């Protein structure tokens, strides 16, 4: 701007915009709001008491019988969106995940129950078979343990339809099968559920950060290998390809997951598409922050806020986080 100024002539002092908190907040580019947050909720079939999840300190399973009470508390905190995950008894799991589309299943009943009392609570539901299969994979496997694509997509369509019939707002396929968005969209439309949305987990990486989640829903080993369907952490171009395919197939929003290690993916997908981009701060990320905070190694409020603002800066429109309630109680 002033090319002729000699070095040391400090007309330009960017620090003027950082002098005090009020000036800093005037020029702050990204802000975190309650409407940015989606809270994941683990629902268990049995009991009446909250069940603590050891791998996720501060997070618990809500028993079905206490669901309305729990949602009431969540609403009062100012959270408008939740994402449901079932904890299914082993006796109802099988090789084919048939419980996923049981019209009287835990998630189906939960959606109906929540919508009856809180019709404006936005419900997202994960669509994949891992909570319902004995092996913990997201789809149907052959004798070699390979997840079969088209056979799985058929079941995912049944599962999505079953949730749509209960009044879910968005189904969220997290399985990474090819062609599932088009198949699910067609199924929903054919059955008259044109208003049910799809949030596609488009860029879901084969990540080591899902360990605590698998413990939370008791779905197989922490380190279960899902590399034949989830993305290679070393790649970015296939993530963009997946997102574009999902949008072409009819996804209303796309997701990047995990969060912090994949901010570059958020930025790329955001710039190469026109739909809202959602980021998932996954269980391992939450656990890292919590454990460091519990050991007084970091300032939890500052570290959580910094992580989520970084996600917004990268271009995320919405953030799925186990911290949602805590943030509303402690930060916002
Ligand atoms: C299931 C699913 C997983 C997560 C969300 N949906 C686990 C997996 O793919 O193994 C992980 C979420 C988290 O770690 O918080 N398809």
Average pLDDT (314-330) is: 98
What does the CA dihedral 111, 113, 119, 122 come to, rounded to 10 degrees? -30
Distance CA 171, CA 180 (A): 12
In contact, 224 and 159? CB cutoff 8 Å: no
Tokens of 279: 């980021």
Pairing relation of β-strands 60-63 and 51-52? antiparallel
d(CA 318, CA 33): 10
User: Is pLDDT above 90 for 2?
Assistant: no
Average pLDDT over residues 189-201: 98
Closest to 242 (Cα-Cα) out of 283, 188, 206: 206
ipTM: 0.96
The secondary element (H helix, E strand) that includes residue 330 is helix 324-330
DSSP 273-291: -SS-EEEEE-HHHHHHHHH
Predicted local distance difference test score (pLDDT) of residue 221: 72
| pLDDT confidence of residue 47 | 82
Which residues are the active-site residues? Answer: 204, 257
Q: How far apart (Å, rounded) are the C-alpha atoms in residues 4 and 269?
A: 40
What is residue 218's predicted lDDT score, i.e. its pLDDT?
Answer: 83
The pick from 41, 128, 212 for probing ligand 1's pocket by mutation, whose C-beta has the most ligand atoms within 8 angstroms, reads 128
CA dist list (Å): 249 to 148, 185, 275: 20, 8, 13
- Give the pLDDT band (50/70/90) at residue 48: confident
Q: What is the pLDDT of residue 11?
A: 83
Q: What is the pLDDT of residue 7?
A: 64
Q: Which of 37, 136, 113, 43 is nearest to 84 (CA)?
A: 43
List the Cα angle 47/53/55 in 5-degree steps: 160
Q: 145: phi > 0 → left, psi -120 to 50 → alpha, else beta; which?
A: left
Asked if residue 242 belongs to a known ligand binding site, the reply is: yes
Q: What is the pLDDT of residues 75-133, one digit of tens each?
A: 999 999 999 999 999 999 999 999 999 999 999 999 999 999 999 999 999 999 999 99
CA–CA separation, 299 and 291 (whole Å): 11
pLDDT in tens, 209-240: 999 998 888 877 777 899 999 999 999 999 99
Q: Do residues 130 and 138 touch, judged by C-beta distance below 8 A?
A: yes
Task: Label residues 150-170 b or e (16+ Cβ within 10 Å = b).
Answer: eebbebbbebbbbbbbbbbbb
Residue in 282, 284, 278 with CA at minimum distance from that of residue 266: 278
| pLDDT tops 90 at residue 46 | no
The per-residue pLDDT for range 254-290, each reduced to its tens digit, is 999 999 999 999 999 999 999 999 999 999 999 999 9
Q: What is the pLDDT of residue 215?
A: 86
pLDDT-derived band at 5, boundaries 50, 70, 90? low
Query: Does ligand 1 lie within 6 Å of residue 133's CB atom?
Result: no
Q: What integer is the mean pLDDT of 177-190?
A: 98
More confident residue, 96 or 4: 96
Which residue has better confidence, 171 or 10? 171
152 CB within 6 A, ligand 1 = no
Averaged pLDDT of the chain: 95
Q: For 44-48, 75-79, 282-286, 326-330, which range has the lowest pLDDT when averaged over its residues? A: 44-48
Banded model confidence at residue 4, pLDDT cuts 50, 70, 90: low
Report whether residue 307 contacts ligand 1, using a CB cutoff of 6 Å: no
What domains are defined for the chain? 31-330 (3.20.20.70)
Indicate the SS3 state at residue 83.
Answer: strand
pLDDT at 288: 97
What's the pLDDT score for residue 24?
98
The pLDDT of residue 10 is: 73
The protein residue whose alpha carbon is closest to atom 10 in ligand 1 is: 210
- Is it the case that residue 59 has pLDDT exceeding 90? yes
CA distance linking residue 185 with residue 191, whole number of Å: 10
**What spacing in Å lies between the alpha carbon of 56 and ligand 1's midpoint?**
14
Nearest CA to ligand 1 atom 2: 174
Is residue 1's pLDDT more than 60? no
- DSSP annotation of 17 reads G
Helices 106-117 and 67-76, axial angle in degrees (round to 10) = 50
């Amino acid at each position: 701007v002033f090319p002729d100024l000699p070095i040391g002539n400090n007309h330009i002092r960017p620090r003027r915009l950082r002098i005090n908190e009020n000036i800093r907040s005037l020029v702050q580019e990204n802000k975190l709001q309650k409407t940015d947050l989606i809270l994941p909720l683990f629902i268990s079939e049995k009991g009446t008491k909250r069940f603590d999840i050891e791998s996720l300190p501060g997070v618990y399973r809500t028993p079905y019988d206490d669901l309305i009470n729990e949602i009431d508390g969540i609403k009062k905190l100012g959270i408008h969106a939740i994402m449901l995950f079932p904890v299914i008894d082993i006796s109802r799991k099988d090789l084919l995940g048939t419980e996923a589309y049981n019209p009287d299943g835990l998630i189906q009943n939960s959606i109906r129950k929540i919508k009856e009392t809180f019709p404006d609570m936005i419900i997202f539901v994960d669509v994949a078979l891992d909570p319902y299969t004995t092996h913990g994979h997201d789809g149907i496997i052959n004798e070699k343990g390979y997840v079969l694509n088209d056979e799985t997509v058929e079941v995912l369509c049944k599962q999505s339809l079953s949730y749509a019939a209960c009044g879910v707002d968005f189904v969220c396929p997290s399985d990474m099968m090819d062609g599932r968005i088009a198949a699910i969209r067609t199924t929903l439309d054919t059955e008259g559920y044109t208003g049910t949305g799809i949030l596609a987990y488009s860029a879901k990486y084969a990540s080591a950060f899902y360990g605590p989640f698998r413990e939370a829903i008791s779905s197989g080993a922490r380190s279960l290998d899902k590399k034949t369907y989830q993305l290679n952490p070393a790649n970015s171009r296939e993530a963009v390809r997946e997102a574009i395919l999902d949008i072409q197939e009819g996804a209303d929003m796309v997701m990047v997951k995990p969060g912090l290690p994949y901010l570059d993916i958020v930025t790329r997908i955001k710039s190469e598409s026109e739909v809202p981009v959602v980021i998932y701060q996954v269980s391992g990320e939450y656990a890292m922050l919590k454990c460091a905070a519990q050991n007084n190694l970091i300032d939890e409020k500052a570290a959580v806020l910094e992580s989520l603002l970084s996600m917004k800066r990268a271009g995320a429109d919405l953030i799925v986080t186990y911290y949602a309630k805590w943030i509303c109680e402690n930060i916002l």
